[in-house]
Structure 1
């Protein structure tokens, strides 16, 4: 029994030692404690600190957020379009085989210029019908005149006179209809009267402009009402701007517009709103505002170009700061304000803003988080504070 008790004591002591070792191993080591947390929190709270000498050296100036009467704008985007009357699809009323094409893509043409010729043997029958109709009209005219004279002298029969008059009117209508058909395919009816029949349909430019894509070639068959080529006159190009519902009642005809051509190194041109649609586009809560562009012919503008625009909707009182007070970093905009002073040491912090209209050296700002009303902000030298903050962040 004593031996058994002795073994029990030994086992109990062994378990006690193992438990103690496990407890020690689970305790966090002192050097693993996040002792840098307080340092990081302190830097975040105090922002950036500068001395008075530094402020004087870089010329940092202070001011307040003011109420300014600035030119207000509505931001919009869109693309350049051409009015329907300044673009054309060249088609045929009668089909045929392409005999010759006289123009190239990108070439400027004038209205009435010959673009192509189409071979169609059906033209012979049409011209022959017109010639026969002319002969029939000549006979009907003489008969009508003869019966008219007899009827006036009471020597004729009234029924015969009426028949001759009806035949005369019918032949007149027939000749006029055939003449119109010949004119529609570009043939002078006078030539058909003289027996000078042609088998080629000339294709003429309906408007002046630049030839776009040509869909025909020599020897191909040109179908009726199918586009042979298109012509665009970019001299009357205008801009269709997308305006959303929140700005709908701010945009009106007559307002000035500044356009920014995103594909031409952000070149700026000016224009004016001349019309605003009164219905939403498809299912979107947006309307189209139409703007005419000043001197569009001299700006080498092309239909389909995308643009950004600022529509001037007048002036209004807004919270504003000098333009130099707003800095950009990480895709956001900030202003810096004086958080506290201690002796000759100045502590600054940043406040995120959303900028708006810019005019007279001031920029409209909307604070993401509110600040005290009369707090001092940095109006000059904000970029120096930003660079100092970035440098401190890199060192950290």
Structure 2
């Protein structure tokens, strides 16, 4: 019986030793395997492709936010310097207007009173001018006193100043003084467009009373739209005139549009610690709307480097690897894993710092993950 126990113990010990040896062998094979074999039929079925290093552009960028805007001289707030009631508003938001086009019509009895005053002063002026001329002649001939002459001169010039003031006021109301002098008095005035552009806001309707402080409507000329961006203080010294700007309008489009830096602000906002950057847009790209929010990237430095598509690179146990063609037979590809050092990235490419290791190599650029999973 004692011999039987010894025999059984020996068999169990040998079995355990053999089992440990097998485990060690399997682990060694998995960690040391640097090659993968794939048959060509599978390669084509999975639509895998070979490629090589390509020269791509990598940019150092500064991110910024902002909006589509126009210069101040391309905006016009329509107001009346004298109050009145709106009697005609033929326009709607979005309508295009030409410079000098009638926008709204206002009516007020005060307009009639101003024209009446102008006529009265004009008539008095004719008499006072004649009296002034007569007194000057008499004074020059020593027929009248200097006092009478100066009084006539003062009255005439005071009335002339009043006349000129009323005349200018009529012109500002867009009323022709010559027609008023001919007896054509109007109870209405028109407000005209100061610039060519599009109506962006209307604050009145028929019957509304507007005072000189009220903005009747707003017009924007979109022929010279630009980007108004805000850049953080820490990045502003990198920004220079003529640098390229790529921007998106996330709420309206997935497209990327182009602009360039035109002006860099010289003051920092005390609250946000940001600086304004003015960018010129290529207006042929699309019909932008003033006020759109934009997300922008300003390219402050650019260089070209050898790179691979992101799809070609795998992250395996904290290493970045690619699969290159080592050799092939009639039915199989033999691939080798090569570790790479990554540099800068774009949306689709990754810079390869150790590009010499991959020079003139055929690299799997599509289907790599599936192939590696199958190989392991």
Q: TM-score range by the shorter chain?
A: 0.7 to 0.9
Seen in structure 2, the aligned counterparts of structure 1 residues 291 and 364 have a Cα distance that, compared at 3 Å, is farther
Q: Distance in 2 between matches of 1:242 and 1:90?
A: 29
**Structure 2 counterpart SS, 1:381:** strand
Q: CA deviation at 1:89?
A: 1.7
Seen in structure 2, the aligned counterparts of structure 1 residues 180 and 336 have a Cα distance that, compared at 3 Å, is farther
The match for 1:149 among 128, 134, 137 is: 137
Q: CA deviation at 1:81?
A: 0.4
The match for 2:160 among 155, 172, 176 is: 172
Residue 345 of structure 2 corresponds to 355
Equivalent residues of 2:89, 2:105 under 8 A apart: yes
Q: CA deviation at 1:245?
A: 3.0
The match for 1:200 among 177, 188, 208 is: 188
The match for 2:367 among 377, 384, 387 is: 384
- Number of aligned residue pairs: give it: 335
**Structure 2 counterpart SS, 1:115:** strand
What are the residue-to-residue correspondences of 1:8-157 with 2, within 5 Å? 50-51=36-37, 58=48, 60=50, 72-157=60-145
Equivalent residues of 1:337, 1:351 under 8 A apart: no
Residue 27 of structure 1 corresponds to none
Equivalent residues of 1:117, 1:202 under 8 A apart: yes
Q: CA deviation at 1:271?
A: 3.0
Q: Distance in 2 between matches of 1:248 and 1:278?
A: 10
Equivalent residues of 1:281, 1:287 under 8 A apart: yes
Q: Distance in 2 between matches of 1:43 and 1:306?
A: 57
Q: CA deviation at 1:385?
A: 1.9
Superposition RMSD in Å: 4.2
Q: Which runs of 5+ in 1 are unaligned?
A: 1-37, 366-370
Seen in structure 2, the aligned counterparts of structure 1 residues 220 and 264 have a Cα distance that, compared at 3 Å, is closer
Q: CA deviation at 1:312?
A: 3.8
Q: Distance in 1 between matches of 2:340 and 2:59?
A: 26
Q: Deviations over 1:192-218 (max 9, x none)?
A: 222222111212112211112222222
Equivalent residues of 1:70, 1:315 under 8 A apart: yes
What are the residue-to-residue correspondences of 1:157-236 with 2, within 5 Å? 157-236=145-224
Residue 329 of structure 2 corresponds to none
Q: CA deviation at 1:108?
A: 0.7
2:310 is the alignment partner of 1:322: no
Between 321-330 and 238-247, the greater mean CA deviation after superposition: 321-330
Q: Distance in 2 between matches of 1:323 and 1:372?
A: 12
Q: CA deviation at 1:275?
A: 0.7
Equivalent residues of 1:322, 1:363 under 8 A apart: yes
2:313 is the alignment partner of 1:336: no
Residue 289 of structure 2 corresponds to 302
